Chains A and B, each alone.
Chain A
Amino acid sequence: MADQNSDAQYSKDQHPIFSEFSDFKYTPTDPSDVLRFDEPPFIPHVYGLLQAVLHSSERSSRTHRLATVAIEHNQSNPTAWLIRRQSAETLAKDDKSIWEKEMAYCASIITNSAKNYQAWEYRRFCATKFGHQHEREFADIVLAEDEKNYHAWAHRAWLVRNGLRKAELEATEWYITRDLRNNSAWNHRWVVLTLTGALEERGEEEMQFALSQMKLADRNEAVWNFIQALYERGIGCELALEAAREAIAKDELCLPARRFVVWATLKPGKEGNEDVKKHCAFLAEKDAVRRKYWQSLVGDADEDTDEDTEEQ
């Protein structure tokens, strides 16, 4: 989209790519008038040509270049990415170095638009051909711009599932210590721990790690979710409860610690929850947007809220 103005100089089929396809018959697409926005005049020709190529058997360097032109205009065009992938596979038969170039191409798209699904997917496809050796580093580069980039973390999860696990736990620690509230890093840590079996190995040591990070910023939702998950697996339970009570004693407004105590010690039914009731009453006041939630836990909810429990 960004290039729309510079592209506009080409009217109809005047983009240089068309001179390469003079032997190709195509029909420019006929975009509808419904909810239509301006686009450069050569774009219906690019799409028309793309369709003609899709239905032909040719996959070559020129179809590869055509895909580049189409992706430049619309980085999410699935047809263009498909033709690019197939063209690269054909070119790779003679020249394996294409995969390295394709990886660089993906990198250039992703660094401009880090949320492009197709480019990430294609990057993984290329990595299965070229090798995974640079992928962690690549994710690191993207995460240096945005440490919570969803695609980059999903990319890392994919790498871990594909066996690249060395030093990944340390990497999550690095991201966590840089930003204690990085929920993506905490989530990834859990994935690494459970996929590698390190959770059982580390046991209480892992709870100690989490608690040490919690103490640096004790109102951090991400770390408390992590602590709670360990607790639910029976890891370091006493340590966690003790630390939570300490956090509350130190800062009565440490709401996530209270939330944790409530969840950890809430008993089914309404009896024997005196401590929980006190915390819930406090939370209902101080965590006011969730007042009804806290009240409902100990059976104090207003009775006018049943409408949502019945579905249509």
Chain B
Amino acid sequence: MASSREQLRIDKHVAYIVGLEKKTKTTDALYFTDHKRLSGVYWALSSLALMRKLHVLPQDTILDYVLSCYHSDVAAFSGNTDQDPHLLYTLSGVQILAMYDKLHLIDADRVVANIAALQRPDGSFAGDKWGEIDTRFTYCALLCAAILRRSHLLDVPAAVRYVLRCQNFDGGFGCIAGAESHAGQVFCCVGSLYLADAMDEMTREDRERLALWLCERQLPCGGLNGRPDKLEDVCYSWWVLSSLKMLGHVDWIDADKLIAFIGRSEDDVDGGFADRPGDMSDVFHTFFALAGLSLLGNKQLADIHPAYALTTDVVQRVTEPSA
């Protein structure tokens, strides 16, 4: 449906991801800092999977590492080998295992039971035993449970009620009730409702209002911002688009202009994508750029699922009725 779509430089991007292991002191250090390295690995592997090149990194080494972040005593993952478990990294760990079809390597019953223990009476989730409440953690909890086919171990209706309490007057969602709408949090909340099969719990008007709020993120330069009057950023290509996809309205934004904006953020010499044109590439924005382009129908890339944030072949595998 769109014109002016240039070819992605897949080889450069693959080389960029593979080369990350050797790089230091680049902006990537920000995303690979020791405590969240597992999420960095997920972004790197997902980028490769979108380019259908997951095999270029050594699976055994990666799995050894991922499992070194798994704490069997509490059945949860930490951001790195030497860190303590947190729900954010349990999701990354579970997503990576799902990509490799190795979910049997962890004790799914206990993983989800421990996630259930993070749910508060009001339906919200904390990230760890001590941590704050945030709708990000609701999404992590529901997605882990969905991938592990154990959503019934969580109080899903209570989670849905909490998420709906975080919907604001402008149609968007925030991190807690009363916090300003932000596209990243909108993604987590819409993703949660989608995974809970509760999209209809929003009235039709609220859904349309939200979709409009998401469309309003697109600026004349083609890029998307995360809230009104803020700068455009490539990562919102994923958060806004995936939300619109779940709401059934990706067509409401100008795909060509967004594709062109993402294209201008691409490093065509060393590979990777930056947060906006002129900045330096990092793995985080590389994944979100590729994921956004996939949602926009780029044929060089595998299809990504808007709620699972995994390629659709993996989602099919984890959701098909078990034999």
Tell me the A residues contacting B by CB distance below 8 Å: 1, 29-39, 43-44, 47-48, 51, 54, 74, 76-79, 81-82, 85, 117, 120-121, 148, 150, 153-154, 157-158, 160-161, 181-184, 187-188, 190-191, 195, 221-222, 225-226, 228-229, 263, 288-293, 296, 301, 304-305, 307-312
A290 with B254, Cβ < 8 A, contacts A31-B34, A35-B44, A222-B228 known: yes
Interchain Cβ contacts under 8 Å between A and B, 8 examples: A37-B32, A78-B128, A121-B132, A183-B229, A229-B169, A288-B254, A289-B222, A289-B254
Q: Are B218 and A39 in contact (CB under 8 A)?
A: no
- A-contact 0/1 string along B13-37, CB 8 Å cutoff: 0000000110111001100111111
Q: Are B251 and A308 in contact (CB under 8 A)?
A: yes
Distance to closest chain B CB from A213 (angstroms) = 14
A150 with B25, Cβ < 8 A, contacts A78-B86, A221-B228 known: no
Q: Are A191 and B182 in contact (CB under 8 A)?
A: no
Contact of B229 among A221, A304, A310 (CB under 8 A): A221
Bound-complex Cα distance A76 to B245 (A): 32
Bound-complex Cα distance A307 to B245 (A): 10
Distance to closest chain B CB from A216 (angstroms) = 15
Apart from A44-B82, A190-B168, list 16 A-B contacts with CB within 8 A.
Answer: A1-B33, A32-B68, A33-B65, A74-B33, A79-B84, A148-B229, A183-B180, A183-B229, A187-B179, A228-B170, A289-B222, A290-B216, A308-B249, A308-B250, A311-B246, A312-B312
Bound-complex Cα distance A120 to B176 (A): 14
Q: Are B81 and A157 in contact (CB under 8 A)?
A: no
Q: Top 6 closest A-B pairs, CB basis?
A: A29-B82, A305-B251, A229-B169, A157-B178, A34-B65, A289-B254
Q: Are B61 and A187 in contact (CB under 8 A)?
A: no
Provide the residues of chain B in CB contact with A1, threshold 8 Å: 29, 33
Distance to closest chain B CB from A120 (angstroms) = 8
Contact of A183 among B32, B81, B228 (CB under 8 A): B228
Is B220's CB within 8 Å of the partner chain A?
A: yes
Provide the residues of chain B in CB contact with A291, threshold 8 Å: 254
Q: Are B32 and A35 in contact (CB under 8 A)?
A: yes
Is B212's CB within 8 Å of the partner chain A?
A: yes
Q: Are B168 and A221 in contact (CB under 8 A)?
A: no
Provide the residues of chain A in CB contact with B21, threshold 8 Å: 34-36
Bound-complex Cα distance A157 to B257 (A): 36
Closest A residue by C-beta to B295 = A308
Q: Are A225 and B253 in contact (CB under 8 A)?
A: no
Provide the residues of chain B in CB contact with A78, threshold 8 Å: 35, 83-84, 86, 128, 130-131
Is B55's CB within 8 Å of the partner chain A?
A: no
Bound-complex Cα distance A29 to B83 (A): 9
Contact of A48 among B20, B82, B220 (CB under 8 A): B82
Q: Are A184 and B180 in contact (CB under 8 A)?
A: yes
Contact of A229 among B170, B245, B248 (CB under 8 A): B170
Bound-complex Cα distance A158 to B35 (A): 27
Bound-complex Cα distance A181 to B230 (A): 10
Bound-complex Cα distance A30 to B68 (A): 10
Bound-complex Cα distance A301 to B1 (A): 14
Provide the residues of chain A in CB contact with B1, threshold 8 Å: 304-305
- A-contact 0/1 string along B155-197, CB 8 Å cutoff: 0000000000000111000111111111000000000000000
